[in-house]
Chain A
Amino acid sequence: MTLAIILVIAAALALIFILGVAVSRNLQVSAKPGLAQRIQPIDIEAFRNLADPAEDDYLRRSLPASEFRAVRRQRLRAAVAYIQVARRNAAILIRVGQAAVAAGDLPTAEAARQLVRDALWLRRNATFALLGIYVALAWPHAGFAADPILDGYLHLNNSAMLLGRLQNPSAVVRISA
């Protein structure tokens, strides 16, 4: 009987979740006017500095071990904040891109598809990088790969600028500070 109760509860939770998705219409194209304004620019150079292994090596050589661990954790927490912003921006740009695919002409739709592809790539890499950082927070000597985030963010920046120019030729777009 315990097994039956567990299965009934699991089925009920799954049903509530699925009905919630249907009601919220989160899986449908939406173009909220303020969506793109929620993009937060990122200071790429500051993030590059935080993620630079050479900087970590320098700190490791210069500081006592306990102090290095504390500084390294602070730097990692700052990197988490940057990556979370990048991940959120990617999510917004996925929405923006998908709305533009549905609404735009052929060149705009192609630029929008590229934007969606780049944003998905970044969001995926950002998730992996966050996992790597959480490991590094527990074990400060472990590293994390920041290059996929930096490269992905620059690609995404270019795709966003291209789409922005196609949608509004007189404006210029950036998602980096």
Chain B
Amino acid sequence: MIRQVPVFFAFAILTAVADLTEYATDVIPTVSPATYWRADWANLLIQAVLKFVLVGEIFAHVFGSYESIARLGQLLIRALGVILVFAAAIAAAYASQNSPHGIISGAWLLDQTTFIVESGLLVFIFVFSLYFHLVWDRRLFGISLGLSISSCVHLASWAILGNLGALDPKRMIFVFLNMATYHAVVLMWFYYLLVPSKVAVIPAVPLPENDLEAWNRELERLVRP
């Protein structure tokens, strides 16, 4: 399994380690607030890079075996990536600056930016594979589904959090919503990765039967176009 989706495993382990480290910097009294926010920034940057590499891994698994659409997909996803980065930059430029400390509001904007690009790219992968009626590996589908749900909920939360005051008590609701969603998604990943799928016997779908004359006509057309 680790060989099949190495980036996902790196993402799962590094994210857990980075979150625990950040939690430690939050609760240890000797760590200053500035150090905590620097750790938060480092955590966000690491997670952002890992998420985009993970999106690349999902794309490669879904479309990599089909050369004809892989190239088209690469072209489209790159173009969409550029558009999403511009859109996220515009959203960040027009976002409310509710914290007097640049390091804090910057971290919130970085979160929002990451989730705009991430959710846009994941939706594109789903739409593109639906258009071509491609079937996904169950585990890969679970990973993508969890990542997409998490990014959409986080995007909505951060869009609201960005407009609330730094000390607004309602902030905690959205912080808990994000945490609850992420924990639910982790359970979903456990389910898709560890619980074996039901072994369904898929009957061969017979192609329509037709007459020998048509077969001969097709052969003739091939031999004498």
Q: At the interface, yes or no: A84 with Cβ under 8 Å from chain B?
A: no
A94 to B119, CA, bound (A): 27
Contact in complex: B133, A91 (CB < 8 Å): yes
Verify B123–A17 contact, CB threshold 8 A.
yes
B interface, over-half SS: helix
Interface residues of chain B, those whose CB is within 8 Å of chain A, are: 66-69, 72, 91, 94-96, 112, 115-116, 119, 122-123, 126, 129-130, 132-136, 138, 141, 145, 148-149, 152-153, 155-156, 159-160, 162-163, 201-212, 214-215, 218, 221-222
Per DSSP, are chain A's interface residues mostly helix, strand or loop, or mixed?
helix
A14 touches B119 (CB 8 A): yes
Q: Which residues of chain A come closer than 8 Å to B162, judged between CB atoms?
A: 4
User: What's the least CB distance linking B136 to chain A, in Å?
Assistant: 4
Query: Is there contact, CB below 8 Å, between B135 and A28?
Result: yes
| A157→B221 CA distance, assembly (Å) | 12
Some 30 contacts from A to B, beta carbons below 8 A apart, are A3-B94, A4-B159, A7-B159, A11-B153, A14-B148, A14-B152, A15-B152, A17-B123, A18-B122, A18-B123, A18-B145, A18-B152, A31-B205, A32-B205, A36-B205, A94-B132, A95-B133, A95-B205, A103-B202, A104-B204, A123-B132, A124-B68, A154-B222, A157-B218, A158-B218, A160-B207, A167-B207, A173-B210, A174-B214, A176-B218
* CB <8 Å contact, B215 and A98: no
The complex places the Cα of A161 from the Cα of B219 at a distance, in Å, of: 11
Q: A99 contacts the other chain (Cβ, under 8 Å)?
A: yes
Residues of A within 8 A of B (CB): 1, 3-4, 7-8, 10-12, 14-15, 17-19, 21-22, 26-29, 31-33, 35-37, 39, 44, 91, 94-96, 98-100, 102-104, 108, 116-117, 120-121, 123-124, 154, 157-158, 160-161, 163-164, 167-168, 171-174, 176-177
